[in-house]
Structure 1
Amino acid sequence: MVKFVHMADIHLGNKQYGSEERQMDFAQAFLDAIKFAVEEKVDFILIAGDLFHKKTEMDPVTLLQARKVLEIPKEEGIPVIGVEGNHDSTYFRDSYSWMDYLAVNGLMINLKPSFEDGKLKLEEWNGKSGAYYEFNGIRIYGMKYYGSISERIIEEYFAKMRSSKNTIFMAHIGVEGYVRNMYGCIPSAKIHKLGRKVDYIALGHVHKAFVEKNLVFNPGSLEACDITEIAYERGIFVVDMENDGPKATLKKDFYEPRDFVILKYRVKKGIEGLKGFLSSERKKIKLKNKPVIDLTLDVERSLRNSLEEDKIKELISEYFDPLLIRLHWDVRDHFRPTMLDLSTKESIERSVVEQLLDNYKYGKIAPEVLKLKKLFSTSFDLEMVDRLIDDLLFEREDAKSPQKDSVLAEELKDSVDSVDGIEKLDLGKEMEKSESDIEEEEVWDWRRACDKGGRPRKRKKL
């Protein structure tokens, strides 16, 4: 019997709402998940994509967090096997990803196929690259994120995979029906077809946990990456691979997540009415840590100017002692002019945008442009806008030529073979220099990683 932990969507480096403390929360969740897996004495650990939050703009703190945590299972002889998600995969103009960097440093196994003359190849992991890994009779296939062409790539995997028991397929891909308007999702039937050849399908991408027919398993993200995800069930799967199939348990108590408090109040009596509302709500809520407060105020325009944001935030701080406050205004006019029917208005907008974009050969992304318009005109949520643009860029680049992966694989192999380990590259030297600053005490403080000057702090041992 083989035992493993399956996790996904770590999103290291997510400085949510601009908060360094939230960035440390994501690191803490990863640390706690890995330590839990080690304590469970698992044979290996699966990470089904989105280890990092940003494929570019990697900061030294985030990379050091990944290295420090991944050294824990390495010291115990537990392999960590991963695939790249949409937040990890580089655009085709880039030669290798940060997960490739971790792989050539021996901290993880980064599975993905190669391409030869446009045809997908599934080769065994050789210490540097490969699409599958063998462990005590278990074969683990890995597929990185491919966006809109995922269905075709899965068909190619299915045609070339062995048909045998004790086979795992891991991919960063969503199943339709769990999250509305999410990119990178395919019909459930396409995923279930793989069940003819595999015993366990380990997914990532959707940030809520689900299981289908004791075959398809998605653990969700370790932390809430958006306010809309607060109510999602999430965790990590602890799995025993037995002769009669996998026995998987979703574990959620390995980590204490950040509290979120979502409030909405219709202002009728000015600041005094709000004060009473906050007092009443505070008595109903039990908090385990400093929360993120998300308050929407529904107010008539005639009252809006009488409410000072600073005063409102002072009241919230008095009652909740929050980590941070997100304040939204839903301002209403007493008299509204007659409007076009919403569906009619959206139809007209879409037609106009499509015509404009067609002139520049981008007509197919008209719906996404309208989504951006809606985001900007309502909440101006830059994080959501950034995520949508990021996905769109990947879709555009990935749809052009998947076989370019073979070129990139060769580039990576050449870059690795040309030196004795990636540490000899300039990037490796920089990272060694950064790590030396904190090696004196072998430490990593997950709550306060850097001082005001951006230098790693020295703190207690892990």
Structure 2
Amino acid sequence: MPRFLHISDIHLGYDRYDSKERTKDFFLALQDVIRKYAIAAQVDFVVIAGDLFEHRSLQPNILNQAKVCFQELHEAGIPTIAIEGNHDNRPYGTKTSWLRYLADWYGLILLEPGDTALGEPVYEPWNPDEKRGGYIDLDCGVRVIGSQWYGASAPKAIAQLAEAIHALPAPTAHTIMLFHHGLEGQIARYQGALRYTDLLPLKQAGVEYLALGHIHKNYEEQGWIFNPGSLEANNIDETTYKRGAYLVEINAAGIQAELKQDYCQRPALRLRLTTRGQESLEELEESAIALVQQAIQSRKINPNDQPMVELRIEGQVGFDRLELDTRKLQQTLKQLSNALIFLLKYDVDSVEYASPLSDEASRLQIEQEIFTDLLAANNVYKKRAPNLAQGLIELKDLQLQGRSEEELYTFAESLMNQSVE
């Protein structure tokens, strides 16, 4: 009964939030998964269905992270088999990559179909001396077939791959295939996803377990297509995705794939504060602080874990939206929660008032209503909006009469003093 670990979209070297600790999270997740669900579980092999790395160009420390993990698997006698994803595939026109380097020097089995444009067959068996090949037959009775990143040409490539699989010698027992592409209907705003019918030729060619990657959300389809999702969330939106690593056993009952999620991951929480337009600037800031404090008290946030936190403020405000110092508030909330990364999303509109005016309204009435609406949109002035509006009209009339700046200033000062009495 062969057992294996299926992982994908590891993204070593992830650097979106410009945080060394956050970059390290991706290594710690991979290392913990390997130790718990490959080495301790004594699997026969590990498969990586693309995107081991975040970038094609690597810093030395990121390459060393991969070496450390593969060395642990090698010392445990567990083969590691991988394919290229869209993040770590070879640049066009080149013959090498960091995955190829790891295959040449550190025991990674990188499965690559042949280049038919150069007259190479699609699939050659893995040659341990040359460290090249498109498929490998393992001692545990499993044939693992590779592929590469095909992008928009994936449907056409699948037909060619299925034909090539049909032509291979019969496998000893079971066939699994690694394929880095997404299935439609799993996430929004994903162009170029495959339809289920696009993948059927692979099943008809004998693939029992299709190990997918690319989409960072876990899903399964029809008992033979499996996508574990990424090991770590690549952004705050992905923290809501179900994702992890598949520990798989093939036995008399068929494929038993269990998604494992208990491993080292950065805690994350998304909070939302909806404003109604009645709050003052100070009240809004106090509400944001109180919301984070409540999350800490309810243990949704543990400051000792240095979580990732997002607070989204949305709705309407009764003041100029630019009056809120979002950078200062973000820093306050980051310190309060001890978050490694605190994201403050401020998406509000200033309250707008528009009193209905009849077609017969006089100029004075129009001025009165316009001034009143502008003042009522601000929490500081809205309670005295009608009186202040009348005062502004009188101030305008004084200016038109040619009154001195000193007189205008004195009138305006008197008006403002009345507004705060």
Normalised TM-score (structure 1): 0.68
Give 1:5's aligned residue.
5
Which ranges of structure 1 fall in alignment gaps of 5 or more residues?
338-462
Question: C-alpha separation between the residues in 2 aligned to 1:188 and 1:290?
Answer: 41
- The 3-state SS of whatever aligns with 2:99 is helix
Paired residues of 1:125 and 1:133 also in contact (CA < 8 A): yes
Matches within 5 A, 1:224-235: 224-235=233-244
Question: C-alpha separation between the residues in 1 aligned to 2:115 and 2:353?
Answer: 59
Distance 1:83 1:183, change over 3 A: farther
Cα distance, 1:315 vs structure 2: 3.0
Paired residues of 1:46 and 1:82 also in contact (CA < 8 A): yes
Give 1:150's aligned residue.
154
Paired residues of 1:301 and 1:331 also in contact (CA < 8 A): no
Tell me, yes or no, if structure 1 residue 293 matches structure 2 residue 302.
Answer: no
User: Could you list the per-position Cα deviations for residues 58-81 of structure 1 after superposition, in whole angstroms to 9, with x for gaps in the alignment?
Assistant: 111111111111100011111000
Which ranges of structure 2 fall in alignment gaps of 5 or more residues?
355-421
Paired residues of 2:330 and 2:343 also in contact (CA < 8 A): no
Cα distance, 1:244 vs structure 2: 3.9
Matches within 5 A, 1:311-460: 311-335=328-352
- Return the match for 2:258 from 241, 244, 249: 249
Cα distance, 1:330 vs structure 2: 2.0
- The 3-state SS of whatever aligns with 2:17 is helix
Cα distance, 1:153 vs structure 2: 1.1
- The 3-state SS of whatever aligns with 2:231 is coil
Pairwise CA RMSD of aligned residues?
Answer: 2.2
Give the fraction of aligned pairs with identical amino acids, expressed as a percent: 32
Question: C-alpha separation between the residues in 1 aligned to 2:66 and 2:269?
Answer: 26
The structure whose Rg is larger is: 2
Paired residues of 2:111 and 2:135 also in contact (CA < 8 A): yes
Question: C-alpha separation between the residues in 1 aligned to 2:90 and 2:191?
Answer: 17
User: Could you list the per-position Cα deviations for residues 346-386 of structure 1 after superposition, in whole angstroms to 9, with x for gaps in the alignment?
Assistant: xxxxxxxxxxxxxxxxxxxxxxxxxxxxxxxxxxxxxxxxx
User: Could you list the per-position Cα deviations for residues 220-258 of structure 1 after superposition, in whole angstroms to 9, with x for gaps in the alignment?
Assistant: 000111222111101111111123421111111123333
> Match for 2:238: what amino acid?
E
Matches within 5 A, 1:30-49: 30-36=30-36, 37-49=38-50
Paired residues of 1:150 and 1:184 also in contact (CA < 8 A): no
Cα distance, 1:300 vs structure 2: 4.2
> Match for 1:271: what amino acid?
E
- The 3-state SS of whatever aligns with 2:323 is coil
User: Could you list the per-position Cα deviations for residues 179-201 of structure 1 after superposition, in whole angstroms to 9, with x for gaps in the alignment?
Assistant: 12324521112223322211111
Question: C-alpha separation between the residues in 2 aligned to 1:158 and 1:243?
Answer: 25
> Match for 1:290: what amino acid?
Q
Give 1:460's aligned residue.
none
Cα distance, 1:334 vs structure 2: 4.2
- The 3-state SS of whatever aligns with 1:18 is coil
User: Could you list the per-position Cα deviations for residues 399-439 of structure 1 after superposition, in whole angstroms to 9, with x for gaps in the alignment?
Assistant: xxxxxxxxxxxxxxxxxxxxxxxxxxxxxxxxxxxxxxxxx
- The 3-state SS of whatever aligns with 2:160 is helix
> Match for 1:17: what amino acid?
Y
Give 2:64's aligned residue.
64
Paired residues of 1:25 and 1:258 also in contact (CA < 8 A): no
Paired residues of 1:147 and 1:183 also in contact (CA < 8 A): no
Paired residues of 1:111 and 1:132 also in contact (CA < 8 A): yes
- The 3-state SS of whatever aligns with 2:257 is strand
Give 2:195's aligned residue.
187
> Match for 1:71: what amino acid?
Q
Distance 1:178 1:295, change over 3 A: same
Paired residues of 2:9 and 2:213 also in contact (CA < 8 A): yes
Give 1:126's aligned residue.
127
> Match for 1:315: what amino acid?
T
- Larger displacement relative to structure 2 (308-317 or 201-210): 308-317
Give 1:170's aligned residue.
178
> Match for 2:264: what amino acid?
Y
Normalised TM-score (structure 2): 0.75
- Return the match for 1:199 from 193, 208, 214: 208
Higher relative contact order (CA 8 A, sep 6+): 1
- Return the match for 1:273 from 284, 288, 291: 284
